[in-house]
């Protein structure tokens, strides 16, 4: 049983939302954030990446960084740019990116559900990143970055969502990157109770993105012993059949002492290789390799993919176990400096650019992991390899904040 509750969100003044709402803190560097927020005192990056208002080189985890974030947060509230609703509500958040549209329910998810495994994980978290989010929540007394959750779609939830999104929205703007963000408020008691009951009928929810945010929220809940609203965390919950996963591609610094010809010879033991191929894989168990200015299609030989284990048959797992470790000598992609990861939103042209200018020796383009694979792994209490999924579009910070 999943417990999702309405809450009184802190939200941007509608006519200022386009200036306030920003991409998540963890998808850009401090310098990129500094450039994005330049000349815009309303930018929420002043709150989510407050180091941009301090001298370059400031320790990102220094106490003055969190204090600066809270100072900027309180200024936005004091000036009326962010305003808290007077009563609890559910919210709907639609994103439109090109031809893709997805609508999520915004609610307060249960920290107990997270700790008990009703809300399922599929990634390990890093203690230093958890600590950072704990300090950020504590400094602001608020969760300002939502956790991206997924549920198995139900017809009743689809009906109530469709009915409300047919009405006039409260917030509607197109961001600089062309993604449209629209929000509605659900306050009718019969609707909010029906939504709660529908989620109570679900056995599981799944974290798509936001493992560190949810882990940090659970730690704050435990340290505060549930005081105030700390028992819940800010979530946007999407039906599984609407979310879009892009591939997470790999670039390699070197060929581990191999010549390009010898590398292809070794890869031939793992893949059926086609030369002069297209850069984007068309199906599961197909990869692209960019090497010496040419693309090759790589198809895992059947014996490698012949397993029922949900983790072992993932392309990212097969690549790691059959190629990156034995051929490239990369035993831990989490810590190795010889591998990097490129989100699919940047496209295969980015891989070509990185290799052509000599930053990397070769690149692997991936076929995206499916949401069904993610849920299957999570149901088995499994952990996916690092950088297995890239969800797009990204949720904007400050569309909704959960005050503790």
Residue-wise pLDDT tens digits, 33-45 = 999 999 999 999 9
**Mean pLDDT of the 138-164 span:** 96
Quick check: is 373 in a domain? no
For 4, phi and psi rounded to 5 degrees? Answer: -120, 125
Our count of domains for the chain comes to 2
Q: What is the 3-state secondary structure (H, E, C) of 100-138?
A: EEEEEEEEEEEHHHHHHCCEECCCCCCHHHHHHHHHHHH
CA–CA distance, 317 with 325 (Å, rounded to integer): 11
Which residue carries 């180091």 as its tokens?
A: 51
The enclosing domain of 331 has a CATH number of 3.30.1760
Whole-number pLDDT of residue 345:
84
On average, the pLDDT of the chain sits at 96
Quick check: is 383 in a domain? no
Burial of 346 per CB tally in 10 Å (0-12, 13-18, 19+): middle
Residue-wise pLDDT tens digits, 106-137 = 999 999 999 999 999 998 888 999 999 999 99
CA-based nearest residue to 236, from 169, 121, 165, 148:
148
Query: Do residue 18 and residue 58 come from a single domain?
Result: yes
What b/e string do you get for 133-170 counting C-beta neighbours within 10 Å, with b at 16 or more?
bbbbbbbbebbbbbbbbbbeeeeebeebbeebeeeebe
Quick check: is 32 in a domain? yes
Query: Do residue 310 and residue 203 come from a single domain?
Result: no
Query: Do residue 95 and residue 121 come from a single domain?
Result: yes
Neighbours of 110 (CB within 10 A): 24
Q: Which long-range contacts (CB under 8 A, 24 or more apart) does 98-104 make?
A: 98/178, 100/244, 100/393, 101/242, 102/238, 102/242, 102/243, 102/244, 102/393, 103/161, 103/165, 103/238, 103/242, 104/148, 104/236, 104/237, 104/238
Query: Do residue 173 and residue 253 come from a single domain?
Result: no
What is the value of pTM for the model shown?
A: 0.91
Q: Name residues whose C-beta falls within 8 Å of residue 320's C-beta, 6 or more positions apart in sequence.
A: 330, 333, 385
Quick check: is 387 in a domain? no
CA-based nearest residue to 236, from 104, 375, 366, 391:
104
Query: Do residue 202 and residue 343 come from a single domain?
Result: no
Quick check: is 115 in a domain? yes
Query: Do residue 167 and residue 309 come from a single domain?
Result: no
Query: Do residue 223 and residue 316 come from a single domain?
Result: no
Query: Do residue 120 and residue 194 come from a single domain?
Result: yes
Residue 334 has pLDDT above 90, yes or no: no
The domain of 259 spans: 248-367
Query: Do residue 147 and residue 103 come from a single domain?
Result: yes
pLDDT band at 343 (very low <50, low <70, confident <90, very high): confident
Whole-number pLDDT of residue 346:
87
Query: Do residue 104 and residue 253 come from a single domain?
Result: no
Whole-number pLDDT of residue 124:
87
Query: Do residue 180 and residue 259 come from a single domain?
Result: no
Residue-wise pLDDT tens digits, 272-317 = 999 999 999 999 999 999 999 999 999 999 999 898 899 999 999 9
Quick check: is 71 in a domain? yes
Residue-wise pLDDT tens digits, 184-217 = 999 999 999 999 999 999 999 999 999 999 999 9
Query: Do residue 84 and residue 225 come from a single domain?
Result: yes
Quick check: is 372 in a domain? no
Whole-number pLDDT of residue 339:
96
Quick check: is 105 in a domain? yes
For the chain, counts of helices (H) and of strands (E): 14, 21
């Amino acid at each position: 049983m999943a417990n999702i509750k309405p809450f009184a969100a802190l939200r941007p003044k509608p006519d200022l939302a386009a200036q306030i709402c920003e991409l998540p803190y963890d998808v850009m560097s401090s310098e990129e954030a500094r450039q994005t927020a330049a000349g815009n005192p309303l930018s929420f990056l002043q709150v989510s990446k407050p180091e941009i208002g301090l001298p370059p080189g400031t320790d990102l985890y220094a106490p003055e960084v969190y204090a600066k974030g809270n100072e900027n947060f309180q200024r936005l509230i004091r000036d009326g740019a962010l305003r808290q609703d007077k009563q609890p509500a559910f919210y709907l958040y639609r994103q439109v990116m090109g031809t893709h549209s997805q609508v999520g329910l915004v609610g307060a998810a249960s920290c107990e559900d997270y700790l008990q495994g009703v809300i399922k994980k599929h990634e390990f978290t890093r203690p230093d990143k958890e600590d950072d989010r704990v300090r950020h929540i504590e400094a602001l007394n608020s969760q300002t970055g939502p956790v991206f959750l997924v549920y198995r779609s139900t017809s009743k939830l689809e009906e109530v969502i469709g009915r409300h999104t047919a009405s006039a929205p409260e917030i509607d703007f197109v961001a600089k990157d062309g993604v449209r963000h629209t929000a509605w408020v659900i306050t009718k008691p019969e609707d909010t109770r029906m939504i709660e009951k529908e989620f109570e009928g679900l056995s599981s929810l799944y974290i798509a993105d936001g493992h560190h945010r949810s882990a940090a929220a659970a730690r704050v809940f435990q340290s505060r012993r549930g005081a105030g609203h700390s028992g819940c965390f800010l979530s946007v919950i999407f039906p599984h059949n609407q979310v879009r996963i892009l591939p997470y591609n790999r670039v390699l610094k070197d060929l581990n002492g191999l010549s390009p010809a010898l590398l292809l010879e070794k890869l031939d033991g793992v893949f059926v290789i086609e030369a002069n191929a297209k850069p984007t894989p068309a199906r599961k168990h197909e990869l692209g390799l960019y090497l010496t200015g040419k693309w090759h299609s790589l198809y895992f030989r059947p014996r490698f993919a012949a397993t029922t284990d949900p983790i072992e048959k993932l392309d990212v797992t097969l690549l790691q176990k059959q190629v990156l470790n034995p051929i490239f000598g990369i035993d831990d992609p989490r810590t190795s400096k010889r591998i990097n990861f490129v989100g699919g939103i940047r496209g295969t042209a980015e891989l070509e650019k990185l290799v052509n200018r000599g930053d990397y020796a070769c690149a692997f383009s991936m076929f995206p992991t499916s949401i069904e694979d993610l849920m299957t792994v999570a149901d088995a209490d499994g952990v996916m390899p690092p950088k297995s999924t890239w969800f797009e579009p990204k949720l904007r910070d400050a569309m909704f904040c959960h005050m503790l």
